[in-house]
Amino acid sequence: MRAGTQCAIVGSAETEVGKLPGRSALQLRLEAAVKAIEDAGLDKHRIDGLVARQPMRNPQSNYSGLMSERLGIEPSYTTDISLSGAGSASMVLSAVSAIQAGICTTVLCVGGDAATAYRGQPSRGRLASEGEDFRSPFGADGAPVMYALAAQRHMYEYGTKSEQFGAVAVACRRHASLNPNAQMRTPITIQDHQSSKFIVEPFRLLDCSLVSDGAGAIIVTTAERAQDLPQPPVQALGMGNACRFSEMTYNVPITTTAAPDAARRAFRMAGVDAADVDFAELYDCFTPVVVMTLEDYGFCGKGEGGAFVESGRIELGGELPVNTHGGLLSQAHIGGMLHITEAVTQLRHQAGERQVDGARVGVVSGQCGELGIHVTLVLGADGR
Amino acid sequence: MKAAPRRPLPQVSDIETKPFWEGCARGEILLQRCLDCSAVRHPPSPICSGCLSSRLEWVPASGNATVYSFVVVHRAFHAAFEEDVPYVVAIVELEEGPHMLSNVVEVPPESVEIGMPLRVCFDCVSDEVTLPKFKPA
């Protein structure tokens, strides 16, 4: 079914999340890395690959080298991934590719930020974007603007309602209320969503994800090596990437993400289809992204995502639990890294109160480029 | 009293985009047209993304457009725009096909809708910089 060596996630860790004054991105990332190495039951010198996500705030070059040096290891494979919201899931593609190419055997993937201290300030290390000259002078800075343009068009083309976006926020909050490591744990209602203030109309405050400090790390190795390690290995069954564009403004349609191709590729590699999926951890920088991703993955028809998310269908106990940790909307915004650690926790059946019964197959999504770049992971429980 | 924060302005001297901004200063939107495959494009680029030709010419657009999508900014993410809220940011579809990001002005935000016909207007913000904006046709 698949080319190359079967790989598995054998270590996984999160730091605490939220507003953590006095903690640096490096400190948080190293804590996550050390915990993931411990979780995997590995000597640190077995780590021969290191993939670091570029910090979203104050990006700097050679972050994987910095992490390696501070961990006191000398890997045979190091690389940095940017791809903002797709970067976390993309690290898994990079790790598996390097292992299958024979470049290394055991890869630590780390992401995390100290973001809250920078709120409202320009990022010091911001990499200039070609597109800024055609965006910033029109008062279009801030991630909500572009995603709200896509949401407005989705409402126009398919009749999607703000209350349906609200159902995504409600589901994520309910799940976060069951997650001890979540930033926002007080349940909300659709009414709360509807009465939250407009940020960039049609987005209300509760359509927008959090600003968070925290980090996460995972360790990928071969399925064969995984057999000797303490944790139940989580199989990397399928992966897919797709790039349609980097700037939404100049492309149509803007109501379809790059997910259809990414998901098709990942599902084909895994030998599964949407009906086999027990839960989905979908990148949720804004609520409509979940609606569109569900459509584009084939969990419902195009334009039917609004109706699909209603009536608890994406909540625990529903047809397809989505963002069982609370997502970027309610657990914490660590760039999607915790979508992966949560999928691992679910597939190890270690999620406690928020465990999806009998979870065997989960999907993780990451996306960036104003919906234009997408990564899909299909992960499976041990013994599949 | 605190000085108002400065608005972000485009780099009008960039090699790729200089003719575009010079056109705006003269009161016209210039688009690139490929001399090999005739495709018309925006934003400016060194090559045609269809046939990869680098033989591009600048042609004036009519200035007629429609709203493809829009939002109403209630919370400005750049301090210089705080005094403008609520204001409209839109993706506009030019008559020639390409899309642009801009503002819809001279109309209450609640009256803007997708498909609304627009006409370009030029906002001269400094000696060097003129921004293309749109108002109801």
* pLDDT, tens digit (0-9, with 9 covering 90-100), for B28-81: 999 999 999 999 999 999 999 999 999 999 999 999 999 999 999 999 999 999
Asked if residue B113 is part of any domain, the answer here is: yes
**Quick one: average pLDDT of A219-237?**
96
Residue A158 corresponds to which tokens in the numbers above?
Answer: 């398919």
The tally of domains found in chain B comes to 1
Q: Look at residue A71 and tell me if it is in a domain.
A: yes
- Residue in A134, A197, A199 nearest the CB of B43: A134
On the question of pLDDT at A163 being above 70, the answer is yes
Domain membership of residue B60 (yes or no) is: yes
Of the two residues A293 and B14, the one the predictor is more confident about is A293
In a domain, A357, yes or no: no
Domain assignment of residue A97, yes or no: yes
A250 interfacial to chain B (CB closer than 8 Å)? yes
B-chain residues near A154 (CB < 8 A): none
Query: Hey, of A118, A119, A123, A138, which one would you mutate to test binding to chain B, going by the most B CBs within 10 A of its CB?
Result: A138
- Helices A63-71 and A25-40 cross at an angle (nearest 10°) of 60
CATH, residue B77: 2.40.50.840
A149 touches chain B (CB under 8 A): yes
pLDDT at A125: 43
The pLDDT tens digits of the residues spanning A325-352 come to 999 999 999 999 999 999 999 999 999 9
- B6 domain residue, yes or no: no
The identity of residue A65, as a single letter, is: G
Percent of chain A at pLDDT > 70 equals 96
Q: Domain range spanning residue B114?
A: 18-136
Check CB contact under 8 Å for B9 and A139.
Answer: no
Asked if the structure places residue B12 within a domain, the reply is: no
Question: Average pLDDT in the A363-369 region?
Answer: 96
Closest in A132, A138, A142 to B77, CB measured: A142
Predicted confidence (pLDDT) at residue B6 exceeds the cutoff of 80: yes
Asked if the structure places residue B1 within a domain, the reply is no
The beta-strand segments (E) located in A149-281 are 198-201, 203-204, 213-222, 234-243, 279-281
In a domain, B31, yes or no: yes
Any bridge partners for residue B93, and if so which? B66, B99
Best CA proximity match to A366, nearest among A26, A57, A24, A94 = A94
Q: Give the minimum alpha-carbon distance from B83 to chain A in angstroms, rounded to a whole number.
A: 11
The interface pTM score, or ipTM, of the predicted complex is: 0.95
pLDDT at residue A126 greater than cutoff 60: no
Q: What is the pLDDT of residues A27-69, one digit of tens each?
A: 999 999 999 999 999 999 999 999 999 887 777 889 999 999 9
Within a domain: residue B3? Answer: no
Range of the domain at A13: 7-117+211-226
Question: Among B74, B114, B131, whose Cβ lies nearest the Cβ of A201?
Answer: B74
Q: Which residues of B touch A203 (CB under 8 A)?
A: 71
- In this structure, is residue B37 part of a structural domain? yes
Q: What is the pLDDT of residue A130?
A: 61
* pLDDT above 70 (res A120): no
Number of domains in chain A: 1
Q: What is the pLDDT of residue A308?
A: 98
Q: Is A296 exposed, middle or buried (0-12, 13-18, 19+ CB in 10 A)?
A: buried
> Where is A380: in which H helix or E strand?
strand A373-380
Domain annotation covers residue A59? yes
CB spacing of B72 vs A200 below 8 angstroms: yes
CA pair distance A373, A86, nearest whole angstrom: 7
Q: What is the CATH number of the domain that holds A101?
A: 3.40.47.10
> To the nearest whole number, what is the mean pLDDT of chain A?
94
Query: Are the Cβ atoms of A141 and B77 closer than 8 angstroms?
Result: yes
CB contact under 8 A, B69 and A200: no
Position A223, amino acid: A
Six token digits for residue B41: 């494009």
The residue assigned the tokens 């976006």 is A165
Helix (H) or strand (E) segment spanning residue A372: none
User: Per the CB < 8 Å rule, is A252 touching B78?
Assistant: no
A123 to chain B, any CB pair closer than 8 A? The answer is no
pLDDT tens digits, residue range A82-104? 999 999 999 999 999 999 999 99
Q: What is the DSSP string of A112-166?
A: EEE-GGGTTS--TTPPP-GGGGGTGGGT--SHHHHHHHHHHHHHHHH---HHHHH
Based on DSSP, count helices (H) and strands (E) in chain A, helices before strands.
12, 11
A353–chain B Cβ distance below 8 A for any pair = no
